[in-house]
Amino acid sequence: MPSPNVDPRPYVGNDEIRIIEERVLAHDWYLLRKTTFEHRRRDGRLQVVSRETYDRGNGVALLLFNAARGTVILIRQFRFPCYVNGLPDGMLIEACAGQLDGNDPLAAMRREAIEETGYDVQAPRKVFEAYMSPGSITEKLHFFVAAVDDADRRTGGGGDAHEGEDIEVLELRLDDAMAMIASGAIQDGKTIMLLQHAAMTGLDRL
């Protein structure tokens, strides 16, 4: 039976799901829950399942590009989870990205761009949304692209030192970035998605 303190239908969109129990396992940086729920399988049987979900909020990812030079602006920074899971030096090449932190996606994207890369984005375009690790993490990313040139560079970027960020800004030819995906030099999922989108569309048409 559902706990009297649990709303059995706290979410909308699927009447076949009924929450039985929710427990908070950790709430330090973000929120880790264990939820037990009942759902009806396609064959009609009811099944009880437990899942852990890590709620870190939603975020944004941005590919900056210079069409005239045929280049993309990426960043490189140390990522501890990657370091402990086989990335030898822990240094990951990524597209600019960050959490919404209470902002709408467009405002968050502009904030992260200036903070991490030093570029003041003038005409961003949203291209898609995606759940990045749906088996356990609730986060959905809003993906943007934006053209920049040297006049848009306001600072050297580098991230927020108070949050432990130490970010290097890279400008790479799109062809070279795609080759780095093939070689394993670029392994970040959101970055691969944005680079493949750029390659399929063409920088002059992004």
Residues 16-53: tens digit of each pLDDT: 899 999 999 999 999 999 999 999 999 999 999 999 99
Q: Convert the pLDDT of each residue in 62-103 to its tens digit.
A: 999 999 999 999 999 999 999 999 999 999 999 999 999 999
**Contact between 100 and 108 (Cβ < 8 Å):** yes
Axis crossing angle, helix 174-183 with helix 189-201, rounded to the nearest 10: 130
Q: Which residues of 180-197 are buried (b: 16+ CB within 10 A; e: fewer)?
A: bbeeeebebebbbbbbee
> Which tokens sit at 116?
């991490």
Can you give the residue ranges of every domain in the chain?
A: 17-55, 59-205
The CATH homologous superfamily to which domain 59-205 belongs is Nucleoside Triphosphate Pyrophosphohydrolase (3.90.79.10)
